[in-house]
Amino acid sequence: MTTLFEKIIHGDIPCHKVYEDEYVFAFLDVAPLSNGHTLVIPKEPVAHLHELSDKSAAALGSALVKVAAAVVEATGVTAYNILQNNGEEAHQAVDHVHFHIIPKVGDKGLALKWNPEELLDGQALASEITAYL
């Protein structure tokens, strides 16, 4: 099934494009949390970050830095959030990898509630994760 973002990339749905290269597309969010709220997406149609090819991932990382710098310059902000969600339970609304660049100005921008927990047996968990790299 073609996602909303694939339709935007292919020009089937209009957008306010701010960046494009062989692997990446970036455009303004139509329902921004603040002025300059921008989406940066890979052209590769995958739902989760861990599914990206190495080429798309590298290009996305490079483009994210460029676009974030441009958003900072254009809006004059000194603070911003980068948000990326994977899966419906993590609040992903479109099944296509995407990063939000969200400028923070006063009460405009991303609002978070952070609920830290105690790290239990960190060495064992680190070893388990490392085994999959």
Catalytic residues: 98
The pLDDT of residue 1: 80
Q: For the stretch 19-33, what's the b/e string if a residue is b when 16 or more beta carbons lie within 10 angstroms of its beta carbon?
A: eeeebbbbbebeebb
Give residue-wise pLDDT tens across range 50-91.
999 999 999 999 999 999 999 999 999 999 999 999 999 999
Are 10 and 52 in contact by the 8 Å Cβ rule? The answer is no
Beta sheet of 24-28, edge-to-edge order: 17-20, 24-28, 38-42, 99-103, 80-83
| Residue-averaged pLDDT of the chain | 96
Identify the three-state secondary structure at position 105.
strand
Q: Tell whether pTM > 0.85.
A: yes
Q: What confidence score (pLDDT) does residue 113 get?
A: 82
Report CA dihedral (84, 90, 92, 93) to the nearest 10 degrees.
Answer: -140
Q: Which CATH topology does 4-131 take?
A: HIT family, subunit A (3.30.428)
> Is the pLDDT at 5 greater than 90, yes or no?
yes
